[in-house]
Chains A and B, each alone.
Chain A
Amino acid sequence: MSIDVDTARRVAKLARIRVDESDLPALADELNGIVTFMEQLNAVNVDGVEPMTGVTPMRLKRREDVVTDGNMPERILKNAPDAREGFFAVPKVVE
């Protein structure tokens, strides 16, 4: 499985990272190098192996259904590049 320019373009698009068309071949090459490195994994027999989920068996932590947080819109919005009237503002989304 090798990464061509189209794949590199699609991956950049999925990742929402702008890559100039002229940079795509180099990107594809670079990603290919890494993917080739990863393909060493194909040599491992993983039949019947369950993917690892944790270091030691632990029970997933739970919280109670109690409101303990919120009511701080100014702190939520404080770092926003653009906040208006209590909302985050972004370039118009066309549906």
Chain B
Amino acid sequence: MLDLTYTAPKPKVIQGAKDDWELVIGMEIHAQVSSNAKLFSGASTAVGAEPNSNVSFVDAAMPGMLPVINEFCVEQAVRTGLGLKAAINLRSAFDRKNYFYPDLPQGYQISQLYHPIVGEGEVIVEMGPGVARHVRIERIHLEQDAGKSIHDMDPTQSFVDFNRTGVALMEIVSRPDIRGPEEAAAYVVKLRQILRYLGTCDGNMQNGNLRADVNVSVCRPGQYEKYQATGDFSHLGTRCEIKNMNSMRFIQAAIDYEARRQIAIVEDGGSVTQETRLYDPDKNETRSMRSKEEAHDYRYFPDPDLLPLEIEQAWVDDIAARMPELPDAKKARFMGDFGLTDYDANVLTAELEAASFFEAVALGRDGKQAANWVINELFGRLNKEGLAIGESPVSAGQLGGILDLMQKGEISGKMAKDLFEILWTEGGDPAEVAAAKGMKQVTDMGAIEAAVDAIIAANPDQVEKAKANPKLAGWFVGQVIKASGGKANPAAVNDLVAKKLGM
């Protein structure tokens, strides 16, 4: 496997009115665990149900109800931890985070403050060929999602739906290693990619299945390095947390706005107040969420309804043995085995399904050619039609068949594109369709020579010009192919034209 080594990107620098400033960003990603049932109850996690129908008595916190953990959610968290090269804690425990809110029926969220299931790991966030930020993961813990409050259905009432209450979330907490808005977005993209490869979270940001709390602070150049050397946060500025972001674009805009807001405060001689803020995309600004601040005392304590969660190393090993190939490894392999460029390898590994499609096409064929076809023809066409790779009318087998026909010289590149079009709309076996449609490149040298001779004879003026300017030979090649109805092998025509024109 090709070993990918990276240099670190330069941190983003924002020029304030007086000074240059750097950003320091840490993120807490809430990723909904892909599971059928909730973390502590047997109710469904399906979306789109009628309000309060995916709710058990446990989820509604009826008196006397007790939680029992869904083992698959634990497995998913372990798998995620392994995917982030993180330490798995064989002993973890659940704590209650106490606060009052209508969408929190128990009056507490079951979470893991003191003993999370996953410890330190790492995500490599590429910012360009050979350039990447190593973002350290501090921990991943399992917790319950809250319900949904709807504030706009009635002028005086909020309406509450518990369908989402108790769905399992993984909170993935990074160290403050992210140094700019673009890196922040790239980090989320990378994490999302890994989670989707692992199958532990579908990454659907629109549904809120993946959302981010972003901690932003600013500091003068050089301060971050002091923090890194000592681990002492006092070298850094006071941070604000921007809650609940579910779009890459908003994450970047919010960080940029927030950094500039903090810089303005500090340059004005003020100091930043540590607080929770909300990003308003309409106004492109962040504002303080004072309601959340009011009584910020969650009184965490171990949930007495649950014993510590002890898992066995053998079980972890078994999950590790069944891990899929992850994006970094796949990319390295694609570059090594198929000779892909860094760019193409990135494009082809962005989504697991696309990578698998490509691999099926490329296996035993020219990898670079396969990459070109998958990226340019297939992805281009899918994008145009708004289709996902899984909905492609042309299968990997069919696309491979087209490439085989080209490889054998039976069809030209032009024919191949036509054949792709036909397969896209009508389907069929590439070889059979090519035959039925008379798509066969002429490689009979006698026939080609006759055609070349005919064109040369018919165009003496062009012959003279071409002899003076060899670049014009291409005109003859085009004419010959055209005369053959596109079937003449372009390479053969090219050679013959050159010879006949004495070039």
Contacts and interface: CB of A to CB of B under 8 A. Distances in A.
Interface in B282-337: 289, 291, 295, 297, 299, 302, 306-310
B56 A63 contact: no
A91 B69 contact: no
The 4 closest A-B pairs by CB, nearest first: A68-B42, A65-B72, A87-B159, A69-B42
Contact of A88 (B102, B278, B306): B102
A73 interface: yes
Interface string A57-95: 011111111111111110011000010111111111111
Contacts of A86: 50-53, 161
Contact of A89 (B70, B72, B159): B159
B463 interface: no
A60 B91 CA distance: 11
A48 interface: no
Interface in B30-71: 35-37, 41-44, 50-60, 68-71
* Size category of the binding interface on chain B: 35 or more
Contacts of B57: 69, 76
B107 to A, nearest CB: 9
B100 interface: yes
A51 B114 CA distance: 13
Interface string B226-247: 0000000000000000000000
Contact of A92 (B51, B151, B302): B151
* Size category of the binding interface on chain A: 35 or more
Given A88-B159, A89-B158, A91-B158, A67 B50 contact: no
22 contacts: A16-B100, A62-B70, A63-B71, A65-B37, A65-B71, A67-B37, A70-B43, A70-B54, A70-B55, A70-B56, A73-B53, A76-B52, A84-B154, A87-B161, A88-B159, A88-B160, A88-B161, A89-B160, A90-B158, A91-B157, A93-B102, A95-B151
B291 A95 contact: yes
Contacts of B93: 53
A51 B133 CA distance: 40
Interface of B: 35-37, 41-44, 50-60, 68-74, 93, 100-102, 149-151, 153-162, 278, 289, 291, 295, 297, 299, 302, 306-310
Contacts of A58: 307
A94 B290 CA distance: 11
Given A62-B70, A92-B151, 17 more contacts: A53-B307, A63-B68, A64-B70, A65-B36, A65-B70, A69-B41, A70-B55, A70-B56, A72-B55, A73-B51, A87-B52, A87-B159, A88-B161, A90-B160, A92-B154, A93-B102, A95-B151
B159 A73 contact: no
